[in-house]
Amino acid sequence: MKDIIYYFERDLLRWLRGRLSVFSALVMPAAWLIFVGLALPTTFTTNYIDFITPGILVLTMLGASLQGGSLLIFDKILGFLNKFLALPAPRESILFGKICFITTRGLIQATVILVLAFILGASLLPPAGLALTYGILALFGLLLSAFSTTVALHLSDHDSYAGFNAIVSMPLFFTSSALMPYDVMPSWLRPFAYANPVSYAIDSIRALQEGLILWSRIGTLLLLAVVVIAISVHRFRKVTL
């Protein structure tokens, strides 16, 4: 744990020192909530803020997690990763440190979204529902941050990773249940949306607003996270630069 905490603290301090990056990380998700939640006309619900808030929360975690891979690209380019891999500390501590930081950063951004959503008129969740919301977001963040960090391990520069990010992030979001319910979607989109891991997280949080817990969807997210993290640990143990 000491090694993991060191890598976590290192990335956290580097992020906090970049004031513009902190500001943009907090403002951009809020802009999504305001401009999409208040401006998009809908006919299937009377309170679109309630409906869209889970989608924006998961979008925030999706963006934070996929952007987290650039941290590893940065370390590779500057030569830090080579030095870290040569240390006696277990290699997977690098991975876990970054996963913890990326997920924590996403949860900080999600907190801003939740506060703003309540100000704009979203329904307040009970303490148990709020805790489960954070748990689902953290689980989703662990899954995506492990995936993005492992992909970054095999890419050589920021341009390549930016291209990967663009290819993955928007299709995942727009083929999910973030912006509309399944019964309003085109028929060809519904199977893709229902099988999308982003929808698993969104549907699980949205169900909490009705007092329901979708254990099957949460369990699937947990299984995916365990599998992806296991693959990530294996790749970090075997990697050569």
Encode 188-226 in three state secondary structure.
CCHHHHHHCHHHHHHHHHHHHCCCCCCHHHHHHHHHHHH
**Per-chain mean pLDDT for the chain:** 85
Say what the pLDDT of residue 115 is. 87
Reported confidence tier of residue 241, pLDDT bands at 50, 70, 90: low
Q: What is the pLDDT at residue 96?
A: 92
pTM of the model: 0.89
The 8-class DSSP code of residue 70 comes to H
Higher pLDDT, 216 or 241: 216
Higher local confidence (pLDDT), 126 or 204: 204
pLDDT tens for residues 56-76?
Answer: 899 889 988 888 888 888 888
Q: What is the mean pLDDT of residues 37-62?
A: 76
Tokens of 220: 């699937």
Contacts of 136 (CB under 8 A, 6+ apart): 201, 204, 205, 218, 221
pLDDT of residue 227: 95
User: 27-36, 146-155, 183-192: which has the minimum mean pLDDT?
Assistant: 27-36
Segment 152-164 shows an average pLDDT of: 82
pLDDT of residue 223: 96
C-beta of residue 72 within 8 angstroms of C-beta of residue 149: yes
Q: Is pLDDT above 60 for 172?
A: yes
- The percent of residues above 90 in pLDDT, for the chain, comes to 29
CA distances from 10 to 13, 116, 217, 218, 234 (A): 5, 29, 34, 31, 23
Integer Rg of the chain from CA: 18
The tens digit of pLDDT for each residue in 82-129 reads 888 888 888 888 889 999 999 999 999 889 888 888 888 777 788 898
pLDDT of 42: 62
Overall average pLDDT of the 48-59 stretch:
86
Residue with tokens 């290699």: 91
* Euclidean distance between CA atoms 168 and 172, whole angstroms: 6
Q: Does residue 40 surpass a pLDDT of 70? A: no
